[in-house]
Structure 1
Amino acid sequence: MEEISIKDFYREVCGDSGCQLDYFLDNKSNNDLGHFNVFDTAKFYHCDSKKPKMSYNRRLYYKISLIKGSNLVEYADKTVLIDKQGILFATPKIPYRYIPQSQDQSGSFCVFTKEFLSKSKTGLIIDELPIYQPNSDFVYQLNDEQYQEMEEVFKKMNTELSSDYAFKYDLLRNYVLELIHKGQKLKSMESVPNTANAASRITSLFIELLERQFPIESDAQVIQLKSPLDFATSLGIHVNHLNKVLKETTSRSTIEIINGRIAEEAKILLKQTKWNVSEIAFVLGFDEVAHFSNFFKRHTKLSPLKYRN
């Protein structure tokens, strides 16, 4: 699972030159304002003849997608089917992907950075909004009337973005907030039966996040994900659910898997490096050498120095 920046987003869908990155990122944004842009889905994805398959990644920007067409949305432990038309509120907190289920796909979407909305004079903090909480259902089915309402807001965004009005970005923020508030009034969708696939996906992503931290090749390389809560937060699910899934798929608890992998790396570092025990404890995320020594003894029945010798 990669982290996709706003620049990566343009490259992902259009290639390095196909969509004129400099035009989108320099001329249509301002460092003091943050980045904002709005697109017609059908037109935008035709800027490259090879339409990319959306990968299951964490995107470091916000995206509101008004979707017309059948799509399967996968996020956290859920799989949701947009049957005809819907809207999706994507946040950096929740990795996701959606898979088109039909050839006819249309609609609109806007992308924006946290800095863009933080300039709002309302003093709001975007991550405190209900729709952007990790446990929020961020995709919703729309009826025809709701779709038309959302579509009108996107049309106003598109018109305003091309205008020379001095305060257009203030107005665009208001349009984004209008979409968010409309979204917060919508009813959550039921997850479709896909439990086995969801459990398999979560397990694979967990193992990938864990293994990505290894091998440790420098004494400045410190693991960042150490607890079940760290991993659950990165995956956008509740820690209890992560533990339940791993128990079902591996017969081991989250903490057992994490500690087992850390213990294995500790053995490798003790045998294959000349680092002292304090340095090894540090890179493995232990604040105190004593804590690391006790941890290692529990897993190997030996102290770090006895194991090394």
Structure 2
Amino acid sequence: MEPIETLADFYRRHPVGDKTEFPENNTGQGHFNVFLREPCLNRSPFGRRDFYKVALVIGKGKMIYADKQVVIDRQALVFSSPAVPSAWESGGGPQSGYFCLFTQAFIESVDYKGRLPEFPLFQADKGHVLELDEPQLALVSGLLNRMRAVMASDYRAKYDMLRSYLRILMHESLNMLPVVPVDSHAGAAARITAQFLALLERQFPIDSPGQSMALRTPAAFAQGLAVHTNHLNRSVKMITGRTTSRVISDRMIKEAQALLQHTDWSIAQIAGGLGFEEPAYFTNFFKKYTGTAPARTRVSA
């Protein structure tokens, strides 16, 4: 697997004229920086980062993920997190906008402890690109431009102020998402399903061959959530239309495909990372859900 990109790696490879490289703990509580997105790389390497990024993309291009590509043809907010490997490829025409980089330690003060990975636009199973209309573009551009001004200031509490602006940006982004009506009778089921999905996502990414999934079965997840397995199964089926086992399997397949396509790990190493005692068990599992052998998936990547 290619090394996980660090903040220092990002600063070294990115040709941004107005950026200033700061140490990883430049705020006293993690890292934060905001700067103009110009000039822009034609393509960024595919992989994971050890930081979070919110980019206001103004221009054409596409975000490349392990299982899909998202085309951007005007302006959009793009949310990147350590859990989701991705790459960027520019289209024709000019590129502009902003980058906002930060670590989990920066945003998660006491009152936000543990909440950042659960933010919907950073979750691996959610969308990460939010298209903007003109009023939304004006709002987001204004916020990011104000953040740049504060970043350049000598105000003693500027990082507290920037932390507040970042949270406002995240809340405004959620407010721009389409509203999906939820049946009140499904409220409890929706909550337990959301908790299950968040716990499932915390099993990933598998970043080294020595790492392995801690939870793989509905019973194990139910125990981790302190609910009965039958209650978890009913809730997940009501909300997702799939069994708990199928949701777990689908997420494992997604991770397996990413590891096959973007690492040089052996089939045995990938099998071990996903909790299979024998490579043959993993091969049968993979073929059952994809119709293709793992080795063939790697060759065709």
Q: Decide: shared fold, TM above 0.5.
A: yes
Q: Structure 1: how far apart are the matches of 2:174 and 2:27?
A: 29
Question: 1:65-99: CA deviations, max 9, x gaps?
Answer: 00110111112422111111111011111011121
1:1-309, aligned counterparts within 5 Å? 1-14=2-15, 24-26=21-23, 30=26, 32-42=28-38, 45=40, 51=41, 53-119=43-109, 123=113, 125-187=115-177, 213=209, 223-225=210-212, 239-240=249-250, 243=253, 261=268
Q: Which amino acid in 1 is paired with 2:78? A: L
Q: Which residue number corresponds to residue 277 of structure 1?
A: none
Q: Following the alignment from structure 2 to structure 1, what is the Cα–Cα distance between the partners of residues 108 and 54?
A: 16
1:135 Cα shift? 1.2
- Alpha-carbon distance change, 158 to 134 in structure 1, aligned in 2, over 3 angstroms: same
Runs of 4+ in 1 over 4 A off after TM superposition: 18-21, 120-124, 225-229, 244-247, 295-299
Larger Rg over CA atoms:
1
Relative distance call for 1:149 and 1:25 in structure 2 (3 A) is same
Task: Report the secondary structure of 2:127's partner residue.
Answer: coil
Structure 2: give runs of 5+ residues left out of the alignment. 179-205, 217-246, 283-301
User: Does the 8 A contact of 2:27 with 2:159 survive in 1?
Assistant: no
| Cα distance, 1:297–1:109 mapped onto 2, change above 3 Å | closer
Distance 1:246 1:145, change over 3 A: same
| 1:260-308 CA-partner distances (Å, limit 9, x unpaired) | 63699xxxxxxxxxxxxxxxxxxx78x9xxx97xx59999xxxxxxxxx
Aligned residue pair count: 217
Gaps of 5+ in 1: 46-50, 189-208, 214-222, 230-236, 251-257, 265-283, 300-309
Deviations 1:145-172 (A, max 9, x none): 1111000001110110111111111110
| Contact residue 256 and residue 270 of structure 2 kept, 8 A | no
Q: Which whole-Å CA distance do the structure 2 matches of 1:79 and 1:296 have between them?
A: 30
**Contact 2:35–2:99 (CA<8 Å) still a contact in 1?**
yes
C-alpha distance in 2 between matches for 1:2 and 1:30: 23
Looking at structure 2, the residues matched to 263 and 242 of structure 1 have their Cα atoms a distance apart, in angstroms, of: 11
Q: TM-score, normalised by structure 2?
A: 0.60
Q: Percent identity, aligned pairs only?
A: 26
TM-score when normalising by structure 1: 0.58
